[in-house]
Amino acid sequence: MSGANPYFLAAFILYVILLMAIAVWAARRTRNVMDFWVFGQRMGPILATWSLIANFVSAVSVIGFTGAVYAGGYSLMTHTILGLMLGVSGLYFVVGLVRRLNVLTFPDLVARVTGTQAARPLAGSVLLLSGWLYLVMQLVGASLLVTAITGVPYQYIVWILGIVFIVYTAIGGLVSVAWTDLVQGVIMVGAVIIALGYMVVDLGGLTEINTRFAAMDPSFVDPTGGGKLSWPVIGATFLAFFGTIFTEQDMLIRIAATRDVRTAKIHLAASGAILSVFYALLVLLGGATAVALVGSGMGVENPDAAFPTLITQYVPTWIGIILVLGVMSAILSTTDTRLHAIGMTVARDMYSYFRPRVGEAHLLRVSRAATVLLGLLATAVAMDPPGTIIVLYGFRAVLLTSAFLIPVYVAIYWTALDGRAVLAAIVAGAVVGLGAQVAGGSIGPVPATFCGVGAAVTLLLVAHWALGPRRRQEAALAGAAADERAG
């Protein structure tokens, strides 16, 4: 620990103490399982908005996005960030109906539109794996970052971060998570604005930064990276990230936690506007980082090292402390929300399906136990993550979008759609999307996401029409039975 920066380390420790104090205070408001799961369905617009913002921006996206801009320029805006932002706005336009359905989780929604409760543990299993992998990767990225910034060895940081977010998520559920997110979201956005402001002044203005960034490589300021990205790849990446907004468990849980449709709409409308500006600033900060480091002879080989290098070697200590707090906020706000979501997936979507008559107190204990166990397991794996986890993590967006986006959201509006067709489309999308990703990311020239979504759409329509005669026969039999009872 000899290389530890005392100022950054002190900021880190004080921040953790502050969060734990907020979490303990908030946990006293958690009285039952509905409070733990969905804030008692009374979350207001400000808390919901900042909870979404704080969760949305992860440490991996801060370090990864600035690193991607450092190495490849602004083309990230053309696919990934555009997909994410249009996804938030798209969810705004369907959230009224989703909130009115009053489902608590995404598997609840799948069960609702398919008319099959068995879909809850099935969809829950996919989301559990996806959420847990995401958690492991967040912990790995976050711990590497904090290690680089504070100088504390990786194996200690993993457990410190792991235990902090496990404890406060387990004691207060979504109540603790949301209140800490409020603080974290504000700090995170403020940190990026202050840091970019400093860099703009330091480097002579935004126009100067972009001009120098373009001089480093003209492809850095080209929407397609100077032709490195083909339009099918841009389209598939866009679609994959767009779809994850609709299919992530934590997004549905937060919608369920809002107190009414108005709040659900406000939190997505406000978050979309704030996040789109935030990401534009973050990408510009990535450009400024490249200009600053390369211009001062501090260029790095590994793009992911760019942002930590900026913090530790380029900016003054006071800006560094602000950025450390921003990074800490990004880390903990995402990991706590994901951990809460996977704990709820286990208790709500899986355990309560197989044990439907257990009491609320029992479900609360199961939720807390799942939160602690899955959190500890993720932390242990993050100590030395096997390569397969990293590979599986890359499949996440393709799998969720291919399997769930079209079948579930079309079924919400097309109420006459046969539930069996929806289930068949989910399975087809998952198998084809995942298969294409395993086969190298595409089938021929068609990217995996297009393959998966295409298979889901095709099977949805074919199965619906094929099951039409059977559906009419079942309806006629049900009508005859009702007439017989009435007679």
Q: How far is the CB of 193 from other proteins (least distance, A)?
A: 15
CA pair distance 223, 59, nearest whole angstrom: 25
Out of 266, 306, 406, 410, which residue is the one contacting other proteins (CB under 8 A)?
Answer: 266
Nearest-CA neighbor of 187 among 5, 19, 13, 17?
Answer: 19
E strand or H helix at 72, and its extent?
A: helix 59-72
Out of 115, 153, 295, 468, which residue is the one contacting other proteins (CB under 8 A)?
Answer: 115
The answer to whether 363 touches 272, Cβ cutoff 8 Å, is: no
Q: Is the dihedral of CA 20, 52, 162, 318 positive or negative?
A: negative
Q: Is the dihedral of CA 280, 282, 286, 291 positive or negative?
A: positive
CA pair distance 171, 36, nearest whole angstrom: 9
- Interface with other proteins, residue 85, by CB under 8 A: yes
Out of 47, 103, 136, 421, which residue is the one contacting other proteins (CB under 8 A)?
Answer: 103
CA pair distance 84, 245, nearest whole angstrom: 7
Nearer to other proteins, 89 or 442 (CB): 89
Out of 28, 31, 228, 262, which residue is the one contacting other proteins (CB under 8 A)?
Answer: 262
Nearest-CA neighbor of 67 among 268, 237, 310?
Answer: 310
- Interface with other proteins, residue 358, by CB under 8 A: yes
**Listed ranges 7-15, 83-91, 387-395, 437-445: which one lies at the site for other proteins (CB under 8 A):** 83-91
- Interface with other proteins, residue 474, by CB under 8 A: no
- Interface with other proteins, residue 227, by CB under 8 A: no
Out of 65, 70, 74, 134, which residue is the one contacting other proteins (CB under 8 A)?
Answer: 74
The answer to whether 139 touches 379, Cβ cutoff 8 Å, is: yes
The answer to whether 404 touches 429, Cβ cutoff 8 Å, is: yes
CA pair distance 242, 409, nearest whole angstrom: 13
Q: What is the CA radius of gyration of the chain?
A: 23
Burial of 152 (0-12, 13-18, 19+ CB in 10 A): buried
**Listed ranges 30-38, 301-309, 435-443, 456-464: which one lies at the site for other proteins (CB under 8 A):** 30-38
Using the CB atoms, write b or e for 310-326: b if 16+ within 10 Å: bbbebbeeebbbbbbbb
Q: How far is the CB of 8 from other proteins (least distance, A)?
A: 32
SS3 of residue 152 by DSSP: coil
**Listed ranges 169-177, 262-270, 299-307, 470-478: which one lies at the site for other proteins (CB under 8 A):** 262-270
CA pair distance 235, 83, nearest whole angstrom: 9
- Interface with other proteins, residue 104, by CB under 8 A: yes
Q: Between residue 408 and residue 467, which ones bind other proteins under the rule CB under 8 A?
A: 412, 415
Distant-in-sequence, close-in-space partners of 468: CB < 8 Å, separation ≥ 6: 418
Out of 129, 151, 222, 369, which residue is the one contacting other proteins (CB under 8 A)?
Answer: 222
Out of 55, 148, 265, 293, which residue is the one contacting other proteins (CB under 8 A)?
Answer: 265
Site string for other proteins, 197-216 (x = CB under 8 A): ---------xxxxxx-xx--
- Interface with other proteins, residue 41, by CB under 8 A: yes
- Interface with other proteins, residue 268, by CB under 8 A: yes
The answer to whether 21 touches 167, Cβ cutoff 8 Å, is: no
Q: How far is the CB of 93 from other proteins (least distance, A)?
A: 7
**Listed ranges 23-31, 175-183, 266-274, 322-330: which one lies at the site for other proteins (CB under 8 A):** 266-274
Out of 277, 391, 446, 477, which residue is the one contacting other proteins (CB under 8 A)?
Answer: 277
- Interface with other proteins, residue 100, by CB under 8 A: yes
- Interface with other proteins, residue 279, by CB under 8 A: yes
CA pair distance 171, 311, nearest whole angstrom: 33
| Sites of contact with other proteins (CB under 8 A) | 33-34, 37, 41, 74, 77-78, 81-82, 85-86, 88-89, 92-93, 96-97, 100-104, 108, 111-112, 115-118, 120, 206-211, 213-214, 221-223, 260-262, 265-266, 268-270, 272-273, 275-277, 279-280, 283, 348, 352-353, 356-360, 363, 412, 415
